[in-house]
């Protein structure tokens, strides 16, 4: 019992790169520690692309399998997390292409909110509108936006994950913000709700200034 606890404590103190080395050297069971560390973040990322939990979990599982199979190709130029996210983004893109998922066009939805509606209800409605607009972005712009806004990654990390130059990653992010900002400024129905739309959209509200 004691040796098992010691082994787990040792695994928790090790860096991702050290655990990767352990796996490469034959300790395959150590890979479960990497799964435990990153599965929540990977699922959160996958849910940004697939709104269906089962599909998102499929991406997570496939990404971990692919990462394990390609572990000898990991060169540690970036973090293991960035490399894993890169694999997951590629899996998500391929699944979207294969299944040709279509998201509901926001213009087909009628949004009616009473003038006396609770601010929480309005905030939730704005969040729904925002998510639908994010879903309509080109894949590269959406990826840059999700990684920057919701995962709080640097542009260097985003460029690594997207396998593109730093400036390209930053440009995709900026174009995404400009599109979203334009939508929210032009939507008359949103403005009639009588609230500051940019103040009720969580982490996105602090990012619009970066589009300037």
Number of domains in the chain: 2
Which residues neighbour 62 within 8 Å (Cβ) at sequence distance 6 or greater? 91
Q: Where are the alpha helices (DSSP H) in 70-138?
A: 80-99, 119-135
10 and 88 part of one domain = yes
Supply the CATH number for residue 196's domain.
1.10.10.10
Instruction: Look up the pTM and report it.
Output: 0.69
Q: 84 with 160: CB under 8 angstroms?
A: no
CA distance 103 to 51: 10
Tokens of 191: 């403005």
198 and 128 part of one domain = yes
- Domain finish residue from 79, 101, 123: 101
66 and 85 part of one domain = yes
**Whole-number CA gyration radius for the chain:** 20
Supply the CATH number for residue 19's domain.
1.10.1740.10
Q: What is the pLDDT of residues 103-158, one digit of tens each?
A: 433 233 232 333 333 444 334 555 666 778 888 899 999 999 999 988 889 999 99
Between 204 and 117, the more confident residue is 204
Q: Is the pLDDT of residue 74 over 50?
A: yes
- Domain finish residue from 31, 66, 101: 101
Domain span including residue 168: 104-212
Residue labelled with tokens 């509108």: 129
CA distance 56 to 88: 10
Q: Which of 43-47, 77-81, 107-111 has the lowest average pLDDT?
A: 107-111
Q: 97 with 139: CB under 8 angstroms?
A: no
């Amino acid at each position: 019992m004691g040796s098992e606890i010691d082994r787990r404590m040792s695994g928790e103190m090790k860096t991702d790169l050290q655990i990767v080395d352990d796996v490469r050297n034959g300790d395959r069971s150590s890979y479960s520690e990497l799964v435990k560390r990153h599965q929540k973040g990977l699922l959160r990322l996958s849910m940004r692309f697939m709104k269906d939990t089962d599909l998102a979990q499929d991406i997570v599982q496939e990404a971990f399998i692919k990462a394990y199979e390609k572990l000898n190709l990991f060169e540690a130029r970036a973090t293991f997390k960035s490399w894993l996210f890169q694999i997951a983004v590629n899996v998500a893109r391929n699944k979207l292409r294969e299944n040709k998922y279509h998201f509901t066009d926001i213009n087909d939805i009628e949004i009616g909110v009473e003038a006396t509606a609770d601010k929480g209800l309005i905030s939730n409605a704005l969040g729904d509108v925002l998510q639908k607009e994010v879903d309509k972005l080109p894949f590269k712009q959406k990826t840059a936006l999700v990684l920057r806004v919701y995962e709080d990654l640097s542009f260097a990390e985003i460029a690594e994950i997207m396998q593109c130059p730093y400036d390209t990653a930053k440009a995709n992010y900026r174009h995404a913000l400009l599109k979203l900002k334009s939508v929210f400024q032009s939507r008359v129905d949103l403005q009639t709700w009588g609230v500051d739309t940019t103040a009720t959209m969580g982490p996105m509200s602090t990012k619009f200034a970066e589009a300037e």
